[in-house]
């Protein structure tokens, strides 16, 4: 056993605590109790998580409170439902910010993924609602899909001082465009990349050979070598092996189940990603315009498939949430 590992083992820290030494831990959940239990720095949600949360007894009151508060808004039909959902997302975010010391990511409507102005207006609406609750915009990240239009929207929002988290990101071209747009943070989806290659090639992947892990390593190395400040946050994990292979990444957003698993192990954690080790990487800078971006994304079957699928799934969960709200206000 190497001395560094021996020292970590004798400290009595579990793997989650060890990870916190060199990676920002972000809760990937709508569950407040798990945040209290595992003390992450930040939190991130998506429509699927919020939809699941409001159907649980302990969180159903949040939706009921928003509906009761907005009965006299004067809005009707789709506008009323949209208003309630936006305020529900912000209510969850505010509750999370009472627990965590850092930032919360709140997602725009996935149906705006190819609509620059729609994404911008929804982001401004969410920030205005947060500021109405005395939450500074520095504590909010607006999640937008990593389409060309989403990236353009994020670039403008960043210029307005609205920080963005580019989600549904599956390839280096998406990451490069995000860095050039000076977005605050990106969320490459490790598990969904793994899922695609496992299904496509009919084999499993572990450790450093995992395609999802390799994708984040590639992006991290590119960013650090060329001095980009955009944060890399690995997301969508299927197991703790993927997480541990990315120890040292700027941030990792982890589900409660996997945080629990990490907290129950005291095996040593080795830092795998380090900015100092990227300087000699033999990679060339990628030059992008819209035509080049769209071609490279189209040429990557996995990234094309998973970006489109992710947008469809998040949009479907927004529709489910709308139907739930409609049933309650009727």
What is the model's pLDDT at position 9? 42
Catalytic, 143? Answer yes
Lowest-confidence pick of 53-57, 212-216, 247-251, 306-310: 53-57
What is the model's pLDDT at position 1? 36
CB 246 within 8 A of CB 213: yes
Q: Given pLDDT bands bounded at 50, 70 and 90, which one contains residue 12? A: confident
Give the Cα separation of 124 and 130 in Å (integer). Answer: 10
pLDDT averaged over every residue in the chain: 95
What is the model's pLDDT at position 330? 83
Query: Per-residue pLDDT averaged across 112-123, rounded?
Result: 98
Q: Given pLDDT bands bounded at 50, 70 and 90, which one contains residue 11? A: low
The DSSP-derived string for 112-166 is: GTT-HHHHHHHHHHHHHHHHHTT--GGGEEEEEE-SHHHHHHHHHHHHTT--EEE
pLDDT of 197 above 70: yes
pLDDT of 2 above 80: no
Q: What tens digit of pLDDT does each residue of 215-230 get? A: 999 999 999 999 999 9
Contacts of 200 (CB under 8 A, 6+ apart): 302
Nearest to 220 by CA among 256, 255, 186: 186
What is the model's pLDDT at position 303? 98
Q: What is the pTM of this model?
A: 0.94
pLDDT of 7 above 60: no
Sorted by where each starts, the structural domains of the chain and their CATH numbers stand as 29-329 (3.20.20.70)
Continuous H helices in the chain: 3-10, 15-19, 32-38, 47-54, 57-69, 77-97, 116-132, 148-159, 172-180, 190-201, 211-226, 240-245, 256-263, 290-299, 301-329
User: Which one is catalytic: 24, 143, 224, 306?
Assistant: 143
pLDDT of 312 above 80: yes
pLDDT of 154 above 80: yes
pLDDT of 200 above 70: yes
pLDDT of 276 above 70: yes
Alpha-carbon distance values, 51 to 44, 73, 142, 191 (Å): 14, 23, 18, 21
Q: Given pLDDT bands bounded at 50, 70 and 90, which one contains residue 48? A: confident
Q: Is 9 left (phi over 0), alpha (psi -120 to 50) or beta?
A: alpha
Query: Per-residue pLDDT averaged across 320-330, rounded?
Result: 94
CB 177 within 8 A of CB 153: no
pLDDT of 10 above 80: no
Give the Cα separation of 140 and 94 in Å (integer). Answer: 10
């Amino acid at each position: 056993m190497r001395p560094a590992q021996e020292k970590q083992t004798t400290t009595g820290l579990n793997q989650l605590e060890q990870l916190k030494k060199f990676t920002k831990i972000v809760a990937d959940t709508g569950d407040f109790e798990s945040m209290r239990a595992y003390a992450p720095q930040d939190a991130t949600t998506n429509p699927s998580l919020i939809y699941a949360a409001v159907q649980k007894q302990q969180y159903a009151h949040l939706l009921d409170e928003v509906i009761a508060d907005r009965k006299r808004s004067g809005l009707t039909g789709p506008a009323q439902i949209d208003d309630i959902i936006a305020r529900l997302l912000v209510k969850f975010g505010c509750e999370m910010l009472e627990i965590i010391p850092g930032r919360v990511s709140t997602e725009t409507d996935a149906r705006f993924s190819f609509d620059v102005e729609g994404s911008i207006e929804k982001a401004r609406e969410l920030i205005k609602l947060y500021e109405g609750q005395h939450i500074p915009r520095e504590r909010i990240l607006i999640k937008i899909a990593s389409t060309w239009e989403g990236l353009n929207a994020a670039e403008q929002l960043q210029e307005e001082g609205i920080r963005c988290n580019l989600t549904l990101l599956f390839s280096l071209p998406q990451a490069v465009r995000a860095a050039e747009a000076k977005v605050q943070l990106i969320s490459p989806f490790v598990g969904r990349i793994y899922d695609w290659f496992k299904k496509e090639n009919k084999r499993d992947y572990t450790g450093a050979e995992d395609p999802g892990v390799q994708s984040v390593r590639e992006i991290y190395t590119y960013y650090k070598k060329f001095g980009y400040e955009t944060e890399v946050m690995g997301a969508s994990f299927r197991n703790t092996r993927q997480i541990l292979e990315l120890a040292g990444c700027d941030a990792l957003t982890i589900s409660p189940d996997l945080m629990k698993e990490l907290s129950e192990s005291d095996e040593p954690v080795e830092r795998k990603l380090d900015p100092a080790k990227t300087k000699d990487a033999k990679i060339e800078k990628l030059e992008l315009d819209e035509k080049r971006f769209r071609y490279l994304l189209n040429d990557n079957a996995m990234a094309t498939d998973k970006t489109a699928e992710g947008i469809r799934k998040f949009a479907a969960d927004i529709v489910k949430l709308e139907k739930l709200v409609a049933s309650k206000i009727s």
